[in-house]
Amino acid sequence: AQSVSQHNHHVILSEAASLELGCNYSYGGTVNLFWYVQYPGQHLQLLLKYFSGDPLVKGIKGFEAEFIKSKFSFNLRKPSVQWSDTAEYFCAVNAKTSYDKVIFGPGTSLSVIP
Amino acid sequence: DAGVIQSPRHEVTEMGQEVTLRCKPISGHNSLFWYRQTMMRGLELLIYFNNNVPIDDSGMPEDRFSAKMPNASFSTLKIQPSEPRDSAVYFCASSTGGGTLNTEAFFGQGTRLTVV
């Protein structure tokens, strides 16, 4: 069965600081990987996704993530965070099988201090 | 497209009452997911459908929960009888799944359920 772990439960940064959120998954086969963001009181929105090809993927709002297959990792990065990045971030995975059950990690709460 | 549409947005009900949550997936999507989000347990996948057929309902917490998808454009999640511990935000999501290997899930706005 697939599972996703996220390294940090809560991260607090000052504006302009660099961000890296860790994500590891467990599944022996080929996977699709996602990062979703949930702003306070809102629904989940896709930040970026990896299906195949270049392991460094770029998403919206200056976010990027790198897939390292040997480490089963898909860490999210942003060089300079803004107050508006305050949100909950979820890493997710689904196996490349006929049925695309998407499993989410527990989430990392990011607070950016102005 | 209007995206995934859920109703109601908020529901407050008394313990023991039946609650029905509704979802309209994005047109053309053939996979539909119901998730529950709580502070304690995060995002839990309750059930998912492909082409209106329930594929995996192992996340449904107990028999009080049931879900149906009578057609490609509508799904319901029912709790009967409801209990205070069912209070959560329930999200519906859809995707172009089922044989399409590269898919992403699109989420609705959620239904915030409070059982008092």
Residue B40's pLDDT is what? Answer: 85
> What pLDDT score was predicted for residue B26?
95
Which chain B positions have a beta carbon within 8 Å of A46's beta carbon?
Answer: 104, 106
Tokens of B78: 């029912």
**Does B45 contact A102 at a Cβ distance shorter than 8 Å?**
yes
Least CB-CB distance to A100: which of B103, B106, B110?
A: B103
- Blockwise average pLDDT, block size 10, chain B, 116 residues: 91 97 95 92 90 91 94 97 96 78 84 96
What pLDDT is attached to residue B80?
A: 97
Q: Which bin fits A82, alpha (ψ -120 to 50), beta or left (φ > 0)?
A: beta
Closest Cα to residue B20, out of B80, B103, B110?
B80
Taking CA atoms, B29 is separated from A1, A58, B103, in Å, by: 25, 25, 10
Phi-psi region of A72 (alpha: psi -120 to 50; beta: other; left: phi over 0): left
Are A77 and A57 in contact, with CB atoms under 8 Å apart? no
Is residue A98's pLDDT more than 70? Answer: no
Question: Pairing state of beta strands A10-14 and A108-113?
Answer: parallel
Contact B103 A32 (CB under 8 A): yes
Q: How far apart are CA A100 and CA A27, in angstroms?
A: 14
Assess whether pLDDT exceeds 70 at residue A5.
yes
Pairwise pLDDT comparison (B43 vs A110), residue with the higher score: A110
Which residues 6+ apart lie within 8 Å of B35 measured at CB? A104, B43, B44, B45, B46, B90, B91, B92, B93
- Would you state the structure tokens that stand for residue B60, as one six-digit string? 């449904």
The reply to whether B93 touches chain A by the CB within 8 Å rule is yes
Task: Name the residue in chain A with its Cα closest to that of B31.
Answer: A100
Domain residue ranges of chain A, discontinuous segments joined by +: 3-113
pLDDT of residue B105: 87
Most confident range, picked from A20-24, A91-95, A101-105, B60-64: A20-24
> What is the predicted pLDDT for the residue at B2?
78
Instruction: Please work out, in degrees rounded to the nearest 5, the angle formed at the alpha carbon of residue B73 by the alpha carbons of B68 and B79.
Output: 30
Distance in Å, alpha carbon of B93 to nearest chain A alpha carbon: 10
Topology of the domain covering A3-113? Immunoglobulin-like (2.60.40)
Residue for token pair 């009452």: B17
Lowest mean pLDDT among A17-26, A55-64, A89-98, B75-84: A89-98
CA-nearest residue of chain B to A104?
Answer: B43
Whether pLDDT at A59 is above 90 = yes
pLDDT of residue A105: 92
Mean pLDDT of A51-70: 94
